[in-house]
Amino acid sequence: RKEVEQDPGPFNVPEGATVAFNCTYSNSASQSFFWYRQDCRKEPKLLMSVYSSGNEDGRFTAQLNRASQYISLLIRDSKLSDSATYLCVVYFTGGGNKLTFGTGTQLKVEL
Amino acid sequence: DAGVIQSPRHEVTEMGQEVTLRCKPISGHNSLFWYRQTMMRGLELLIYFNNNVPIDDSGMPEDRFSAKMPNASFSTLKIQPSEPRDSAVYFCASSWTSGGDTQYFGPGTRLTVL
pLDDT tens per residue, range A12-64:
999 999 999 999 999 888 889 999 999 999 999 999 999 888 899 999 999 99
Report yes or no: B28 at the A interface, CB cutoff 8 Å.
no
Whether B21 shows a pLDDT value over 80: the answer reads: yes
Whether A95 shows a pLDDT value over 60: the answer reads: no
3-state percent helix, strand, coil for chain B, nearest multiple of 5: 5, 55, 45
Chain A residues inside the 8 Å CB shell of B43: 44, 87, 101, 103-104
**Region B25-34: what's the mean pLDDT?**
95
Q: What is the C-alpha separation between A71 and A88, in angstroms, rounded? A: 8
More confident residue, A29 or A72: A72
The confidence score (pLDDT) of residue A96 equals: 60
Contact A46/B102, CB-based, under 8 Å? Answer: yes
Of all residues in chain A, the one with the smallest CA distance to B45 is A100
Residues 6+ apart with CB under 8 A from B110: B9, B10, B11, B89
Whether B99 shows a pLDDT value over 90: the answer reads: no
The confidence score (pLDDT) of residue A27 equals: 85
What is the count of residue pairs from A and B with beta carbons less than 8 Å apart? 44
A97 neighbors A71 (Cβ within 8 angstroms):
no
Chain B residues inside the 8 Å CB shell of A99: 45, 100, 103
Angle at A101 between CA A99 and CA A105, to 5 degrees: 150
